[in-house]
Structure 1
Amino acid sequence: MVFAALDSSVRWLGPALPVLLMLWWRYATQAMVMAVWLALDRARGFRPRQPRFQALRGALLLATSVLNFVGLQRMPVAEFTAIVMLAPMIATLLAAWLLHERVGPLRWALVTLAFAGALVVIRPGSGLFGWAVLYALGSAATYASFQVLTRRMSAHDDPLVTHFWTGLFGTAAVLPVFVLFGADAAAQALAVATPAAWAGLVAIGMFGTVGHLLLVFAFRFGAASTLAPFTYTQIGWAMLFGWLLMGALPDALAWVGIAMIAASGAATAWLNVRGAR
């Protein structure tokens, strides 16, 4: 729900606030919140054990955010979210390739079903979304890589320390671009921003921070295979928020494609649960 709220807020605030401002603030909030947390919890410290992988992880999540923030200005939230939900399927492919995890025939069939569902949503050649779909597909690819790397790092670095460094990397990487190319536009937009826009900007920072923090604790107390089905509820929340904030709902064919992607993900999660028993 939190990630759907983040995406919907970005889409809703797009006409009022520059993307660079929203992007920088999303990561600055995470860095500040986690800096205070770690300062109060001195036993953890700030130093990561794998700084190079921390930088790579931060770069992958930042790339995902850039693609999301820009792409959401060009596509409806529900359809964009459905395509991004290909990430677990892509992660399956990457895990088989990079981590040498075994992928059986049924899983390959489910991956194929998910990609077929994405084609139904996108409808290549229809001109429905145009080149904007590349943002969603790129986001799915970078987020899948982020998931695989996070899985690899989880045994080595404290997840809260990782959360801090991801926020700090994003803040530092976006800041010079924001200062050079977005500061004037941001100042002008904030000067005339409504209280709702200010509240939305604060919410973007908190949604991004809290969403990933909840994931940290969820994966600490629950198995990934158990938690995976809840990922696909994001599509439903995206539809709800898209309807409430923008009055947008997918058409009939998009519903079919979204159902194919969600069914593939749910079936994959069920296989994970069965395999963990």
Structure 2
Amino acid sequence: MNRQRPLLGVVLVLCAGACFSLLDNSAKLLGATLPVLLFMWARYAFQAVTMLAWLAGRRGRAGFHAAHPKFQLLRGGLLLGTSALSFYGVQLMPVAEFTAIGMLTPVVVTMLAAFWLRERVSPLRWALVVGAFIGALIVIRPGSGVFGWAAVMPLTMALCYGCFQVLTSRLASLENPITTHFYTGAVGAVALLPVLWLAKVPVLNLLSQATAQQWVLMLIIGAMGTLGHLLLILALGMARTGSLMPFVYVQILFAAGVGWLMFNHVPDGWAWAGMLVIAACGASSVWLNFAEASAKRLNSTVEQDTIAD
């Protein structure tokens, strides 16, 4: 059993949030000069090549064995869909506001658990779901003309990422996480190749003519995407999910800070209020999920002890 190191786990989660914030803001900046499809493919290619070298060096051919290849394909496809919505969405919205709406994922997971896994959801958890969506409406302010239809993208991303998380939780105990990390990158990189061809993106010409700044930004996007998800994997090995996930919401602050440095954008008062509501409801939802899971384990242990007596 791995030794629990919750403080280190929290540090890793915070570092992952910083990575994702830098990734999203870099994607927004690079999207002004290069096709989004190109650097989205570069992000997954970087992850696939990096994890290929890691697995080959540490575990050899055995490291590439996937016990459930269909799950790997579906998981990779869901994360690719999440990335596509994110990369295109940040071209149309400020990164901090986009990140906050995307943080609806925990309450989306609650809804999926109710409708897909047929789990019982308490009235308090439904209240948190409603509260989080109210927070999103405060950020979006329908009818105000602030974001318009672009706000659909982070909402859809939250749904897609929620499905990704549910599948990941089912897959976590069945596959080596580093192997899964490789296949996630490989699926994205391979799947985007025909899309690049159909979209007639001149990959070789664009790469050969790219400036030093564009190359640096592409490397940052690839490195931050790969490192961020790897840090999350390592963090979840250090401490329980319920104790770590509330710290994910610090990513909103990171996104706002990097957005201010790169684009001089500061969310207004209404946006901050909505972000706070989303973060409070989402973190509370995570905590309730953890508390209910702990109670179930405790009840199971008591029942086993009673039977043994």
- TM-score range (shorter-chain normalised) is over 0.9
1:1-277 equivalent positions in 2, closer than 5 A: 1-42=18-59, 44-184=62-202, 187-188=205-206, 191-193=209-211, 195-272=212-289, 274-275=291-292, 276=294
Q: Report the Cα distance in structure 2 between the residues aligned to 1:211 and 1:204, rounded to whole angstroms.
A: 10
1:60 CA displacement? 0.4
Q: Report the Cα distance in structure 2 between the residues aligned to 1:29 and 1:109, rounded to whole angstroms.
A: 41
State the SS of the aligned residue for 1:49.
coil
1:97 CA displacement? 2.7
Q: Report the Cα distance in structure 1 between the residues aligned to 2:52 and 2:194, rounded to whole angstroms.
A: 21
Q: Report the Cα distance in structure 2 between the residues aligned to 1:270 and 1:20, rounded to whole angstroms.
A: 37
**Cα deviation per residue 1:79-105 (whole Å; 9 max; x = unaligned)?**
100110001110111123333444222
Q: Which residue of 1 aligns with 2:302?
A: none
1:42 CA displacement? 2.0
**Cα deviation per residue 1:6-40 (whole Å; 9 max; x = unaligned)?**
11110111112210111000000110011111111
Larger CA Rg, structure 1 vs 2: 2
Q: Which residue of 1 aligns with 2:15?
A: none
Contact kept? 2:106, 2:286, Cα under 8 Å: no
**Cα deviation per residue 1:48-72 (whole Å; 9 max; x = unaligned)?**
1111111111110000011111111
Contact kept? 2:19, 2:228, Cα under 8 Å: yes
Q: Report the Cα distance in structure 2 between the residues aligned to 1:171 and 1:183, rounded to whole angstroms.
A: 15
Q: Report the Cα distance in structure 2 between the residues aligned to 1:133 and 1:92, rounded to whole angstroms.
A: 21
Identify the range of structure 1 (229-238 vs 177-186) with the bigger mean alpha-carbon deviation.
177-186
Contact kept? 1:79, 1:250, Cα under 8 Å: yes
Q: Report the Cα distance in structure 2 between the residues aligned to 1:155 and 1:103, rounded to whole angstroms.
A: 24
TM value normalised by structure 1: 0.94
**Cα deviation per residue 1:191-243 (whole Å; 9 max; x = unaligned)?**
152x2222111000000101111111111221110111111011110100110
Q: Report the Cα distance in structure 2 between the residues aligned to 1:217 and 1:29, rounded to whole angstroms.
A: 19
Q: Report the Cα distance in structure 2 between the residues aligned to 1:155 and 1:188, rounded to whole angstroms.
A: 41
1:57 alignment partner AA: R
Structure 1: runs of 5 or more not aligned = none
2:127 alignment partner AA: A
Residue 163 to residue 185, structure 1, CA distance change in 2 (3 Å): closer
Runs of 4+ deviating beyond 6 Å: none
Structure 2: runs of 5 or more not aligned = 1-17, 296-309
State the SS of the aligned residue for 2:64.
coil
1:145 CA displacement? 0.5
Query: How many residues are matched?
Result: 276
1:182 CA displacement? 4.8
